Amino acid sequence: MADTRYVCSVDIGGTKIASAIMEYPADGSRPYPVYSAEIPTNPSEGGEVVYSRIEGAIREALASDPDRKVIGVGVAAAGVVDPKTGSIAYANEIMPGWSGIELGPRLREALGMPVAVVGDVQAHGLGEAHWGVGRDRYSVLCLGIGTGIGGAYVEDGRVMRGFHGAAGHMGHIESTSAQGIPCACGRSGHLESVSSGTSIGRMFEERYGRVDESRPTVGRDVNDLCRQGDERAISVIHEAGFALGASLGSLANILDPEVIVLSGGVIHQGPDWRSETWKTSVAEGYASQALDPLLETPILIGELEGDAPLIGAAEHLLASL
Amino acid sequence: MADTRYVCSVDIGGTKIASAIMEYPADGSRPYPVYSAEIPTNPSEGGEVVYSRIEGAIREALASDPDRKVIGVGVAAAGVVDPKTGSIAYANEIMPGWSGIELGPRLREALGMPVAVVGDVQAHGLGEAHWGVGRDRYSVLCLGIGTGIGGAYVEDGRVMRGFHGAAGHMGHIESTSAQGIPCACGRSGHLESVSSGTSIGRMFEERYGRVDESRPTVGRDVNDLCRQGDERAISVIHEAGFALGASLGSLANILDPEVIVLSGGVIHQGPDWRSETWKTSVAEGYASQALDPLLETPILIGELEGDAPLIGAAEHLLASL
């Protein structure tokens, strides 16, 4: 039997920085946090301030119980992480000054312990593949559906990172349903523009006006209406689900994963996203595009939710040792 | 210095079965055929007859010079090859009775030597990645554009095969340009329906009638017209190139390869596919979809042509030992 092990995990998003000490029990069962904390990212203060905040959060986590011997730090970071260095190779305007931050090298130097940095969506996929609904599966395609849509492909426990660290932008593939619709990335016609929570709200509003006149319509509003049997909401959710399913079919034709896992806010925060309307739409879209040998590939709902990136970051650190 | 090594390679397509003995020179330079032969597949005679023909072709290759010690047999096969067994898991109606043939196990038993079977398009990608334009690159996305469109993703010398062996069906992803157009696979809206040689001929014919009244228009006809400055042909080729480029952008967003390699009949058999019309269209389509960190990813033309699957099959055998 192995010893109990401890890994420090950090998940850096545009809204918050979550940190944890993950305990890997000696019996080999699923790791869980023995310490956890959350602080706001306040990204507008710039990359350097955010960096200091991260280093501080890690130091606090490490100091939370000096008797625990922590092996190293696994970091799940927003933006594109250079797989060779662990630096932030690219970030969008949501985190100004984040691009170029030498996150891995600086943390390694400052903390004097092993540090491994991976993209946050890639970490999410690693978490579900190692300890979530994808455990014991050879390969897992994981899609995170929230404000935007991201993804990760994990094979044999290892996440595909790409040459620049940019692999897994599954929301940014051509979707017939999104033709001509502008995407947050600056292109158009992408899956994200029709199946993300943001897009579902926007589609409803464009067609039927605001649900609440005082604010923009979001995915959850449409979900609530759908639950009440509102035909307009049902039609929008059907369209978003079908487009998602069709893209999952395209992705299966490219990657042929053993299982497909859906996660993220849209999946977890509204139980009705698991409703028959949505499930049927996704299945119909999938069947419309997936090739015959791939028609039986299971489409599952992730089970780790917000813990997935922290667990995945810890797994990434362990694999890097 | 290593010894000179010999591998028997077979490439099984719907039209012909190519076999070769590949010599791996002792100086580590690129392998080349010291024996090669080609026979028709005649797939309509059924899977069992085709199997006998393959075994016969391999025995002839092995007997061609009994003094050469051949290490094993690498097979590139049409259809979906089960990665666990080397059997044909799935084949379409072009090769009746091919699905279910236990190709790897039977050849291994019959020949008493190592046999490794891989999909033909996957073998093509392996060839270009190991010894073609993708050599010394960390990861290669290879697309074969001919009658249909197939693909392969090779990372660190290893091809992504997928859980069922069906990874790499890059022609069967949603393309905005192909919306509503039926695909050979039975679905619709796929890249193959707008950018393959077959599709280019069909698109021209649908819009402008046959080039030669006595037969269906093929890609090469449109290419010839394009070379003569025919505006109709130029517009069709632009559309096909743009759609291909856009899909390459989607694929880069998913896989983030170091280089993209284009190969296959459409690329190699008409030098004008490398013309400015086509190259510009592909580049425009790519830029319309690829994310910022991926805009500089090189799009190269394969250099091994028909030898690529034979070389890739040999590499696959060597990796399996």
Average pLDDT over chain B, rounded to whole?
A: 94
Which secondary-structure segment (H or E) carries B20? strand B16-24
Q: Does pLDDT of B29 surpass 50?
A: yes
Shortest alpha-carbon distance between residue B180 and chain A (Å): 9
Give the mutation candidate from B156, B256, B258, B284 for the A interface (greatest A CB count, under 10 A): B256
Judge contact between A303 and A128, C-beta under 8 A: yes
The per-residue pLDDT for A2 is 72
Give the mutation candidate from A90, A174, A284 for the B interface (greatest B CB count, under 10 A): A174
Q: Rounded mean pLDDT of B138-159?
A: 95
Q: Does pLDDT of B272 surpass 60?
A: no
- Cα separation, B179 vs B187, whole angstroms: 11
Q: Say whether A89 and B251 touch across the interface (CB within 8 A).
A: no
Domain extents for chain A? 5-127+306-320, 136-302
Rounded to the nearest 5 degrees, what angle is found at the Cα of B247, between the Cα atoms of B211 and B188? 65
Whether A5-127+306-320 and A136-302 share one fold: the answer is: yes
Q: Rounded mean pLDDT of A279-304?
A: 95
**Lowest-pLDDT range of A212-226, B37-51, B256-270:** B256-270
- Cα separation, B281 vs B241, whole angstroms: 5
Q: What percentage of residues in chain A have a pLDDT greater than 90?
A: 87
What does the pLDDT look like over A39-78, one tens digit per residue?
999 999 999 999 999 999 999 999 999 899 999 999 999 9
What does the pLDDT look like over A125-174, one tens digit per residue?
999 999 999 999 999 999 999 889 999 999 999 999 999 999 999 999 99
CATH fold of B5-127+306-320: Nucleotidyltransferase; domain 5 (3.30.420)
Structure confidence at residue A93 as a pLDDT band (50, 70, 90): confident
Q: Say whether B174 and A258 touch across the interface (CB within 8 A).
A: no
Identify the closest residue of chain B to A90 by CA–CA distance.
B293
Which secondary-structure segment (H or E) carries A302? none
Q: Does pLDDT of A271 surpass 50?
A: no
The number of residues in chain A equals: 321
Compute the count of residue pairs across chains A and B with CB atoms less than 8 Å apart.
140
Judge contact between B41 and B15, C-beta under 8 A: yes
Superfamily of domain A136-302: ATPase, nucleotide binding domain (3.30.420.40)
Judge contact between A173 and B254, C-beta under 8 A: yes
User: CATH number of B135-301: 3.40.1080.10, 3.30.420.40, 1.10.645.10, 3.90.1310.10?
Assistant: 3.30.420.40
The per-residue pLDDT for B271 is 43
The per-residue pLDDT for B274 is 54
Q: Does pLDDT of A222 surpass 70?
A: yes
Q: Rounded mean pLDDT of A31-39?
A: 97
Judge contact between B8 and B31, C-beta under 8 A: no
What does the pLDDT look like over B104-129, one tens digit per residue?
999 999 999 999 999 999 999 999 99
Structure confidence at residue A275 as a pLDDT band (50, 70, 90): low
The per-residue pLDDT for A273 is 54
- Cα separation, B87 vs B80, whole angstroms: 9
Q: Rounded mean pLDDT of B188-198?
A: 95
Q: Based on C-alpha coordinates, what's the Rg of chain A?
A: 20
Q: Say whether A176 and B174 touch across the interface (CB within 8 A).
A: yes
Q: What percentage of residues in chain B have a pLDDT greater than 70?
A: 97
Shortest alpha-carbon distance between residue B147 and chain A (Å): 18
Q: Say whether B174 and A174 touch across the interface (CB within 8 A).
A: yes
Q: Say whether B185 and A90 touch across the interface (CB within 8 A).
A: no
For B23, counting Cβ atoms within 10 Å of its Cβ (0-12 exposed, 13-18 middle, 19+ buried), the class is middle
Q: Does pLDDT of A34 surpass 60?
A: yes
Which secondary-structure segment (H or E) carries B206? helix B197-208
The per-residue pLDDT for A264 is 85
Structure confidence at residue A188 as a pLDDT band (50, 70, 90): very high
Q: B89: which chain A residues are within 8 Å (Cβ-Cβ)?
A: 293
Judge contact between A286 and A249, C-beta under 8 A: yes
The per-residue pLDDT for B159 is 97
Q: Rounded mean pLDDT of B91-97?
A: 89
Alpha-helical regions (H) of A102-217? 103-111, 120-131, 192-195, 197-208
Q: Say whether A90 and B293 touch across the interface (CB within 8 A).
A: yes
Q: Which member of A169, A176, A297 has the closest CB to residue B291?
A: A169
Q: Say whether B169 and A254 touch across the interface (CB within 8 A).
A: yes
